[in-house]
Structure 1
Amino acid sequence: MDTNINRVATELNEWKAREERFEKIFSPSILKDPAFLREKLSFYNHVQAKYGQSANDEEKITLRILAGQRMELRDQLYPSLLRKLYHFITRPFEEKRIQQQATQKQQGNLRALGDLMKKHGFDPAPDKLFAHVNQGQKSFTIPISHFVSESEKINYNLSFSKQHDGTYRFDHYQASLQSAKDSRQVVSQVFKTDAKDAIRAEQAQHLLAGRALMREGFDHSGAPKPKWIQLDFTDKDPSGNHKIKQFLHSYGFELEKATERLLQNQHISQENKQNFLEALQRGERQPLTITRGNDSVKLFVEANPQFKTVNIFDEHAKKISIGEALGEKAIKEQIRALAPKQQLSSHRSKKNGVSI
């Protein structure tokens, strides 16, 4: 744990802010109300029990001061000797109960955060989560990064915030796709985590790379109709996020039809074809090896719903047309090259009196 962080002081400051809110709701006299003072004593007892075993020197000092405040408050609320004796006897059991509740609550919160991180495609990182949650900060971030390729690196910053009940929530994450050669070449986007169809880490990577992916969608009657989404790098919202282009089912993009010409006459099984199409739907740039004459050619393909087609790249990542991919351009050039020779041959034959 960071020894510069005083968790006890943090909790006391949060209580102070709570007092200020109640003063505005009611009046300054509420702070002397017996009901409110009992809540305050309960809070002090909770903090004492929760952090009583702390090894942090700053927290130890704060707890010793708090102990005096607790005693004064208890004497004010319960002046009789019998009540003091009762609190003295029951306090150890109460503190143990509070410690157990705090531990169970924290463990449950850590499990929930880990599950949500996993759902969004991130390593739960239990050690990092525990270290941050145990510090009691109002908010914290966990950075994650890895190389996508030799030329690109993806960076994620996962943001968490503390709630009123003391638990933490995984609010959002910022994803940045960065050039490994030039750190200034970077594309970033913030993705929320509370949506039912929230974007997962690998989907964020595909979107930042400029690719489109298929998402769940529904028509006016509520029937499921998938849609395609893609970041609009020419337009941003007020928060600085790129706006999202949507291509609904009614837009008319059919992936299977867009790849039909590319896949026809290729010896590709139905299973491999389905896997290929599903990869494009996920937003991947999918490798595809096709047979062209006697040669095997490796291509890379990605969906392009806006223009109702697919983008095709050669093995050097150069974008090419479908005609170039299928070798049709080369065939046409050969035909054009042969045409003058055929015409010359025909002319010579006629000149020599030979009909062809």
Structure 2
Amino acid sequence: MANTESRLEQENRKLREMDERYKAAYQKETLEHPKFLKERVRNYDEALARVAASPIQEDKAGVRALQLERDQLARKAYPNLFIRLFKKLVDVLSAGNRVAKAQQATADNASSVHGSMEKVGLGDHFNKVQQQMKQGNGEFSLPVSYQVSEREKMELHLNFKRDEIGNCHFENYKATLFSEDGKIKPVQHTFDIQNSDFDTGKAYNLLSGRAVHNGAGSWQQLDFNDKDGAGNLRMKNFLTGYGFDLEKVLVELPLKETEHKTIFQKFMNGEKVEATLLINNKETSYVLVADPQKKEVGVYNQLGRKFTQDELKGKQSETKSTANVQQLIPKVKHIQDQRKGKSVKF
């Protein structure tokens, strides 16, 4: 839901709020001192420049009223007529620079918002956000929906808010994962843009129950049995000291050596990985999932059955034993044939 406010309305509101703070904090003598009044005139000049830089056509009468208020302050700040006229000439000459500076600040803010959106994989939706920004919306949300797979859908709500000086920020996005057949209950979590590095891909993996490495030495995983007051799933953290060493666990699996690096990075992003393991002297495809809480990598067959680490080790031992027996059988048969051959000759 958008909270629409024109640039002129924003600047008027901020100036009024500023005046109220001044009155509550300072004595009358301070508020009427020329040096203080000169600073207030500068505030009005900057506000008028931001209004002039706005891409939306503003109310001309309202802009004129703001200009008149500024001139009244200037009369008090510069009681000498000649000084005031000189100051007004200087202000007119420098007005263009102030407007250009305000326009550049607007462009920089738009670029910052675009960068924040691209960081989480939502840069394609920036144009819609920019339209809201140009309309002067102080707080708004943009809905985004897309299909993840045949059976899963993600719904996002991107939340934006302006700060006290009018800059817009991409604050967070609420992600909800739906099962198309309705068999799995929807799960949701709000991802803070300022304090996390979770793009929409990692968000999907987290909502699917898998763990993601945050890039700062910690594995994180959503707790499906615990929610905060806002209905968001709480995040479990597994620090380095917890004892999950992904590299060590991967070395212990009968993986092809060429797959280690690729699999490692996918696990860090929270993905499930299809990989080839050598089991019973056969290369078989399995699905692998990093599980930092259990300090292991879960190994599943194509039907979803999970193999324990002991089972995997047992299968490998069984493979070696079987291979040894098979190697002995031909030798025994060969000796028997030789004996048979000798007895016939005799």
TM-score (normalised: structure 2): 0.74
| Alpha-carbon distance between aligned partners in 2 of 1:254 and 1:240, rounded to the nearest angstrom | 32
Map of 1:175-254 to 2, 5 A cutoff? 175-182=175-182, 185-195=185-195, 198-216=197-215, 226-254=217-245
Look up the SS of the partner of 2:206 in the other structure. Answer: helix
In the TM superposition, what is the alpha-carbon distance from 1:98 to its structure 2 partner?
Answer: 0.8
- Cα deviations by residue, 1:236-258 (Å, 9 ceiling, x for unpaired): 34454322223333433344565
Look up the SS of the partner of 2:164 in the other structure. Answer: coil
| Alpha-carbon distance between aligned partners in 1 of 2:111 and 2:236, rounded to the nearest angstrom | 35
In the TM superposition, what is the alpha-carbon distance from 1:83 to its structure 2 partner?
Answer: 3.2
Which residue matches 1:90? 90
In the TM superposition, what is the alpha-carbon distance from 1:23 to its structure 2 partner?
Answer: 1.8
| Alpha-carbon distance between aligned partners in 2 of 1:82 and 1:98, rounded to the nearest angstrom | 23
- Cα deviations by residue, 1:255-293 (Å, 9 ceiling, x for unpaired): 4565567x52x6x3x222331233123210112345777
Cα pair 2:247 2:264 within 8 Å, conserved:
yes
| Alpha-carbon distance between aligned partners in 1 of 2:96 and 2:20, rounded to the nearest angstrom | 30
Is the alpha carbon distance of 1:214 and 1:44 closer, same or farther for their aligned partners in structure 2, counting shifts above 3 Å? Answer: closer
Amino acid of the structure 1 residue aligned with 2:307:
S
Which residue matches 2:273? 286
Look up the SS of the partner of 1:52 in the other structure. Answer: helix
Moved more, 64-73 or 176-185: 176-185
Look up the SS of the partner of 1:165 in the other structure. Answer: coil
In the TM superposition, what is the alpha-carbon distance from 1:100 to its structure 2 partner?
Answer: 0.8
In the TM superposition, what is the alpha-carbon distance from 1:102 to its structure 2 partner?
Answer: 0.4
Runs of 5+ consecutive residues of structure 1 not aligned to the other structure: 218-225, 332-356
Amino acid of the structure 2 residue aligned with 1:172:
N
In the TM superposition, what is the alpha-carbon distance from 1:161 to its structure 2 partner?
Answer: 2.8
Which residue matches 1:344? none
| Alpha-carbon distance between aligned partners in 2 of 1:179 and 1:60, rounded to the nearest angstrom | 52
Which residue matches 1:38? 38
Map of 1:1-356 to 2, 5 A cutoff? 5-27=5-27, 30-52=30-52, 59-123=59-123, 125-182=125-182, 185-195=185-195, 198-216=197-215, 226-255=217-246, 258=249, 263-264=253-254, 268=256, 270-289=257-276, 298-315=285-302, 318-321=304-307
| Alpha-carbon distance between aligned partners in 2 of 1:61 and 1:284, rounded to the nearest angstrom | 58
Deviating 4+ runs (over 6 angstroms): 291-296, 323-326
Is the alpha carbon distance of 1:47 and 1:301 closer, same or farther for their aligned partners in structure 2, counting shifts above 3 Å? Answer: same
In the TM superposition, what is the alpha-carbon distance from 1:165 to its structure 2 partner?
Answer: 3.4
In the TM superposition, what is the alpha-carbon distance from 1:132 to its structure 2 partner?
Answer: 3.3
In the TM superposition, what is the alpha-carbon distance from 1:121 to its structure 2 partner?
Answer: 3.5
In the TM superposition, what is the alpha-carbon distance from 1:177 to its structure 2 partner?
Answer: 1.9
Amino acid of the structure 2 residue aligned with 1:148:
V
Is the alpha carbon distance of 1:308 and 1:55 closer, same or farther for their aligned partners in structure 2, counting shifts above 3 Å? Answer: closer
TM-score (normalised: structure 1): 0.72
Is the alpha carbon distance of 1:213 and 1:58 closer, same or farther for their aligned partners in structure 2, counting shifts above 3 Å? Answer: closer
In the TM superposition, what is the alpha-carbon distance from 1:93 to its structure 2 partner?
Answer: 1.8
Is the alpha carbon distance of 1:308 and 1:89 closer, same or farther for their aligned partners in structure 2, counting shifts above 3 Å? Answer: closer
Query: RCO higher in 1 or 2 (8 Å CA, sep ≥ 6)?
Result: 2
Is the alpha carbon distance of 1:184 and 1:162 closer, same or farther for their aligned partners in structure 2, counting shifts above 3 Å? Answer: farther
In the TM superposition, what is the alpha-carbon distance from 1:66 to its structure 2 partner?
Answer: 1.8
Cα pair 1:9 1:59 within 8 Å, conserved:
no
In the TM superposition, what is the alpha-carbon distance from 1:145 to its structure 2 partner?
Answer: 3.4
- Cα deviations by residue, 1:133-188 (Å, 9 ceiling, x for unpaired): 33343333344332221122223333333233333333333222222344993222
Is the alpha carbon distance of 1:252 and 1:52 closer, same or farther for their aligned partners in structure 2, counting shifts above 3 Å? Answer: closer
RMSD: 3.6
- Cα deviations by residue, 1:179-216 (Å, 9 ceiling, x for unpaired): 23449932222222333x63333222211111012344
| Alpha-carbon distance between aligned partners in 1 of 2:15 and 2:140, rounded to the nearest angstrom | 20
| Alpha-carbon distance between aligned partners in 2 of 1:174 and 1:101, rounded to the nearest angstrom | 34
In the TM superposition, what is the alpha-carbon distance from 1:20 to its structure 2 partner?
Answer: 1.4
In the TM superposition, what is the alpha-carbon distance from 1:313 to its structure 2 partner?
Answer: 4.2
Runs of 5+ consecutive residues of structure 2 not aligned to the other structure: 319-346
